[in-house]
Amino acid sequence: MLIHDNSKLVMIGDSITDCGRKRPVGEGDGGNLGTGYVSMVSALIGATCPEKRIRVVNMGISGDTVRDLAARWQTDVLDLKPDWLSVMIGINDVWRQFSRPNVIESHVYPDEYEETLENLVKTTLPTLKGLVLMTPYIIESNKNDAMRQMMDRYGAIVKKIADKYGAVFVDIQAAFDRLLTRYYSAALALDRIHPNTIGQMLIAKEFLKAVGFKWE
């Protein structure tokens, strides 16, 4: 596995990451990591290779955009001194353009999204041993859907930045697309955004596959 022994892995993002994690720092047992993919990643690593002693921290906050991440980056990333960092952000950046079309100040358009995410990556990378960038997604198989088209655009930005800075890239949208050949979108998320346990496990699986996790 790419994540070395005795690493601290901080996972940051929006509600998909948050999932009811403990405040101010989501770490430890008893639901402190929330109920989503972060807790699943921690459990699978802990059960399969406990000797690696990988410490997982959940710093997701529901409703966040990349703009919000930038505002709390010092306290919620840099001050925690992670060895590895995972970032999945962009869903709200896109969603609010559709759910709140008249509230312009809540919108984060592609140029701001790319500039902000790249600045966070560029300034943080020297402090890390590894970085994982995961795409935002919508659980929608129709690629002509307006919000799906916009989400794909933001996902392409994530890939561009990951390629430029040598980060581990995880295409969560593509993973959901594969799942949608067998599932109707509402069977995974009624709002096409907040997945059930199958969807959360899919995110955990894709993350772990990308960092070379093995069952053995």
Specify whether the CB–CB gap between 77 and 10 falls below 8 A.
yes
In the set 68, 83, 185, 194, the catalytic residue is: 194
User: How many other C-beta atoms lie within 10 A of the C-beta of residue 143?
Assistant: 10
What is the 8-class DSSP label of residue 4? P
Q: Say which amino acid occupies 113.
A: Y
163 token code pair: 């390629």
Distance between first and last Cα of the chain: 11
Is 194 annotated in the active site? yes
In the set 5, 99, 163, 191, the catalytic residue is: 191
Strand order in the sheet with 55-58: 55-58, 8-13, 84-88, 130-134, 168-170
In the set 15, 39, 42, 86, the catalytic residue is: 15
Specify whether the CB–CB gap between 35 and 79 falls below 8 A.
no
CA torsion sign, 125 to 87 to 65 to 145?
positive
Closest CA to 157 of 98, 111, 107: 111
Is 62 annotated in the active site? no
| Residues with catalytic function | 15, 191, 194
